[in-house]
Amino acid sequence: MKKHLVFLSILAVTAAVIIEAASLFSEMSEMPTENPGKGVTEIRMLSRYWPNLKGTAGDTEVFVLRGEKPGASMLILGGTHPNEPASNVAATVLIEHAKVNEGCLYIITRANRSGFTHNDPTEGYPQHYSIPLPDGSKRIFRFGSRATNPVHQWPDPDIYIHESGQALSGAETRNLNRAYPGKPDGTLTEQIAYSIVQLIKTEAIDISIDLHEASPEYPVINAIVAHNRAFELAAVSMMALDMEGLPFSLEPSPVNLRGLSHREWGDSTDTLALLMESANAIQGRLRGKTDEALIMTAKDSMYVRAAQLGRLYVDYSEKGHPLEERVGRHIAGIRAIIDAYNTLDKGKIFEVEKFPEYGELQEKGIGYFLNPLSKLLFQRFTA
């Protein structure tokens, strides 16, 4: 009798854990609502550029901000890696606040949407974080995984062979930024990559920027990585940013590193391909407590110590690297690239407004540039 009771208790506890875990996992499929501003003239789905993507977990919104006058075009990609929050938040601020006068801006806030539907439990990551708005409300953002959800693409091969012949570890087969230029009949990740390349080709995008974050111990940080054709554009932007007190390093896109946006977009289309990185402690291996505060402030005594020991590629003090700073750097970087493009006189003009200034963003906070939601905090993701 006693044996039975012990068995039943274990069964009940196991069931409770399974139900709780399943409900937490299921919740991840509910995407926080976005509230595009008046600058957005159209919302279309990425599957428009590759219809096989329709109805899959890889389909995602493309926000179009078309100016009254024709001009140059730009693509901004946030959320390639859903565990790099400044990338998703910077793209979201722009769809909710920015306006285009001349030219056309295409923004994807969740480039690997599937990656937002799970996170890496062994990392102890929080599932979301929230940004306060001036009216007292808050906006919730999903913290996801670097890679496509295995529920949507499984199993991983032992070795991921890119079409160039490059061999990487099997898990990289779900990394969007190793999948370019993508394959129309490939894995879900390769099909997302293919759709993005088709968007760049179809819309003849002049400048394409992929937003990322990197751990403070990674050498490519606070950087602009530029394809060879975009190097001059990046160099002029970087000098202007330096004068604003926002130093960026300039990294040439390595020719033999395949599958990455800055390499394959530039090689397979006419676009000027760039990638930007900011400093994100929650991705790093040296971090201490992993919680929402670490996403928002990146204050971490372990990283302060690592900086003192000269182990980092970025300054690190008790002030951390708040999300405002990282989002501000991305937006200032995009703005500088636009100004440089106009200065270099490529025959077209791209004119934007209401891009939050770096100082303004630090002073007022990110929430000032996001729109309040009347209700619906989450939208059920159906795929």
Q: Burial code of 228-264, b = ≥16 C-beta within 10 A, e = fewer? A: eebbebbebbbebbeeeebebeebebeeeebbbbbbb
* CB of 97 vs Zn ion, minimal distance in Å: 24
CA angle 330, 133, 321 (to 5 degrees): 40
Pick from 81, 152, 287, 299: which binds Zn ion (CB under 5 A)? 81
**Cα(248)–Cα(240) distance, integer angstroms:** 10
| Of 212 and 335, CB closest to Zn ion | 212
CB of 284 to Zn ion, least distance (A): 13
224 vs 352, which CB is nearer to Zn ion?
224
For residues 84 and 251, which CB has a smaller minimum distance to Zn ion in the complex? 84
Stretch that binds Zn ion, among 81-89, 130-138, 150-158, 333-341 (CB under 5 A): 81-89
Q: Distances from the Cα of 294 to the Cαs of 133, 301, 313, in angstroms?
A: 19, 11, 19
Q: Which helix (H) or strand (E) holds 202?
A: helix 188-202
Stretch of 79-87, 124-132, 188-196, 222-230 contacting Zn ion, by CB under 5 A:
79-87
- Smallest gap, in angstroms, from Cβ of residue 212 to Zn ion? 3
The separation between CA 82 and the C-alpha centre of its own chain, rounded to angstroms, equals 6
Binders of Zn ion among residues 328 to 367 (CB under 5 A) are: none
In this complex, which beta carbon is closest to Zn ion, that of residue 82 or of residue 103? 82
Calpha distance 157→91 (Å, rounded)? 32
- Nearest to Zn ion of 40, 147 (CB atom): 147
Q: What DSSP assignment string belongs to 238-299? A: HHHHHHTT---EEEEPPTT--S-HHHHHHHHSSSEEEEEEEE-GGGSSS--S-SHHHHHH--
Nearer to Zn ion, 84 or 217 (CB): 84
Cβ proximity to Zn ion: between 97 and 142 the closer is 142
81 or 142: CB nearest Zn ion:
81
CB of residue 83 to Zn ion, shortest distance in Å = 8
Nearer to Zn ion, 81 or 99 (CB): 81
Q: Which residues contact 46 (CB under 8 A, 6 or more apart)?
A: 53, 58, 59, 60, 61, 62, 108, 192, 195, 196, 199
| Pairing mode of beta strands 42-45, 61-66 | antiparallel
Query: Min. distance of Cβ 266 from Zn ion in angstroms?
Result: 17
Least distance (Å) between residue 1 CB and Zn ion: 57
Minimum CB distance to Zn ion, residue 84 (Å)? 5
Strands 272-279 and 207-214: parallel
Among 99, 128, 152, 212, binds Zn ion (CB under 5 A): 212
What are the angstrom distances between the C-alpha of 229 and each of 92, 267, 274?
Answer: 28, 9, 10
Q: Is 326 in the site for Zn ion (CB under 5 A)?
A: no
Which of the stretches 80-88, 130-138, 244-252, 259-267 binds Zn ion when contact is defined by CB under 5 A?
80-88
User: From CA 305, how far away is CA 287, in angstroms rounded?
Assistant: 11
Smallest gap from Cβ 111 to Zn ion, in A, equals 10
Segment near Zn ion (CB under 5 A); pick from 45-53, 74-82, 234-242, 282-290: 74-82
Contact yes or no for 162/178 (Cβ under 8 A): yes
List the structure tokens of 75. 């693509």
Shortest distance, CB of residue 144 to Zn ion, whole angstroms?
Answer: 12
Q: Which residues bind Zn ion (CB under 5 A)?
A: 81, 84, 212
